[in-house]
Structure 1
């Protein structure tokens, strides 16, 4: 079970629902260290004064806010803490909106909300009410000493707390040029029907297990090969760059591409097949690679 981030409550009107908050996502990027390629010595991080070029000790560094070009107000950590919103550990629901009314671009980070301290009944009541009315709750919540806008969304047997971006954080899209309708773009009814058929033929149930971070797996495989080969710097030939597909420039080209796409799907394979999962024990582990590297004297 994911660790509990905090215990608090969902609050709307006079209703108080005891809940626990759990992380619902994890970031798994590739972390690379900087080293001197001549000696493999690690390269440290130095804080440099951009004017003098000299290194600055940590005790002489503070935060500052640039209120005008080149003009700063210095802020001590204690001042920033006093300015922060006090953590109430309450998901304070302010309104309910239709579940399709909030665009995806506003959604940021998900968390699991679980019932706590005999709050199962009222928790279930809120979840089922949201499902029956096809609504989600908009709320305010303080996480990590910062206030967030959030949405409480039913998902199966759980409620999800999804932090939202503030309105000023979402870039206005009115300046981006794109046809507003199919007619404005010159799309014909026949082309639209073929595109819909192609989508139907390629459709399958959502299974996140079918998808993997191929970049991470390829880099881990590369590290594995280098470890097995000793401290060699020889790398197998580079893969050819992916072929860029030109966008169709006419109705005839678009229709031909749609037809070719439909023909390319054999009748027996019209439904998308699951991507083969990596057999157990085959997926390389970064930590195990590091251990083997140390064992070989790297």
Structure 2
């Protein structure tokens, strides 16, 4: 549990506890000294003297003028806005589809605290039926976040959001016009692209997608351990490049994709009945 407080909307308060919703399962590389293979630690260094600084001597500060800082203690930071550190304050309810994935940051779980089951269930059901999510303010780890309160099956999830100032404006990018005709795309190519999208469409089942890099790295580690190479530094051979035809005709690329027996994808998953029917449909096209 990270903290406990309440979800507040109108005059209603839902006592809740906040829990992490994700777990890191990637490959954890340790930094080593290549001469001795001793682990390398993380040190906090005084940039002026180059000396290591003890944890108890590190404080938080905000630079208000070049080289001059205002120092704030953890207690002062918490006291600056006590109420918001204990409350998920819902500011508005919006349609879920209106929030771009660009704003999504970190997900958490909210569970009802003592005496909060009924009102928790009520809020979850109201959001589900309305097709809305709650946009809220919350303070975690000494920082204020915008967040989305989202019903997800039996749980209310709290997903922190990026502030508008943190999402860059794509206007500075060189992009093709939104009118695909002006971009040189033909109606026939659009039709084939739509067919390809339909053939490759399936229900969202996150468990069927795997971190193949993680699996391959662990397999490589196992092979090196078995070979007794637990300290050897080797330069790995580059993987063989996939053979690709030099095709620049978009229509031809789409036709080849539609006629393929299986989509070129790194996903390791079993074929479903729908996938098989889709392949048959593509082969007959």
Structure-to-structure mapping, 1:2-21, within 5 angstroms: 4-21=1-18
2:168 to 168, 171, 184: 171
Tell me how far apart the structure 1 counterparts of residues 46 and 142 of structure 2 sit (CA, whole Å). 30
Aligned to 2:260: 264
Question: Given the alignment of the two structures, is residue 222 of structure 1 paired with residue 225 of structure 2, yes or no?
Answer: no
Tell me how far apart the structure 1 counterparts of residues 38 and 226 of structure 2 sit (CA, whole Å). 21
2:68 to 70, 73, 76: 73
Question: Given the alignment of the two structures, is residue 32 of structure 1 paired with residue 29 of structure 2, yes or no?
Answer: yes
Structure 1 residues 163 and 204, CA gap change in structure 2 (3 angstroms): same
Shift of 1:164: 0.7
Shift of 1:218: 1.8
Structure 1 residues 74 and 11, CA gap change in structure 2 (3 angstroms): same
Shift of 1:140: 0.7
Tell me how far apart the structure 2 counterparts of residues 118 and 214 of structure 1 sit (CA, whole Å). 44
Moved more, 101-110 or 40-49: 40-49
Aligned to 1:108: 105
CA RMSD of aligned residues (A): 3.0
| 5+ residue gaps, structure 2 | 271-285
| 5+ residue gaps, structure 1 | 277-298
Tell me how far apart the structure 1 counterparts of residues 15 and 43 of structure 2 sit (CA, whole Å). 46
Shift of 1:51: 5.8
Q: Give secondary structure in 2 for the equivalent of 1:100.
A: helix
Contact 2:63 2:70 in 1 (8 A): no
TM-score by length of 2: 0.79
Question: Given the alignment of the two structures, is residue 137 of structure 1 paired with residue 113 of structure 2, yes or no?
Answer: no
2:191 to 179, 190, 193: 193
Structure 1 residues 219 and 126, CA gap change in structure 2 (3 angstroms): same
Tell me how far apart the structure 1 counterparts of residues 267 and 39 of structure 2 sit (CA, whole Å). 45
Q: Give secondary structure in 2 for the equivalent of 1:113.
A: strand
Structure 1 residues 47 and 135, CA gap change in structure 2 (3 angstroms): closer
Q: Give secondary structure in 2 for the equivalent of 1:31.
A: coil
Contact 2:2 2:17 in 1 (8 A): yes
For residues 102-131 of structure 1, give each alpha carbon's deviation from its aligned partner in whole angstroms, at most 9, with x where no partner exists. 111111011111223232222222222222
Count of matched residue pairs: 262
Tell me how far apart the structure 2 counterparts of residues 108 and 77 of structure 1 sit (CA, whole Å). 27
Contact 1:138 1:149 in 2 (8 A): yes
Q: Give secondary structure in 2 for the equivalent of 1:193.
A: helix
Structure 1 residues 51 and 208, CA gap change in structure 2 (3 angstroms): same
Contact 1:141 1:149 in 2 (8 A): yes
Question: Given the alignment of the two structures, is residue 240 of structure 1 paired with residue 239 of structure 2, yes or no?
Answer: yes
Q: Give structure 1 regions of 4+ aligned residues with deviation exceeding 6 angstroms.
A: 244-248
Aligned to 1:281: none
TM-score by length of 1: 0.76
Aligned to 1:289: none
For residues 22-58 of structure 1, give each alpha carbon's deviation from its aligned partner in whole angstroms, at most 9, with x where no partner exists. 2111223433233222222333445555566x43443
Tell me how far apart the structure 2 counterparts of residues 139 and 50 of structure 1 sit (CA, whole Å). 38
For residues 193-212 of structure 1, give each alpha carbon's deviation from its aligned partner in whole angstroms, at most 9, with x where no partner exists. 11111111111222222222
Tell me how far apart the structure 2 counterparts of residues 29 and 75 of structure 1 sit (CA, whole Å). 39
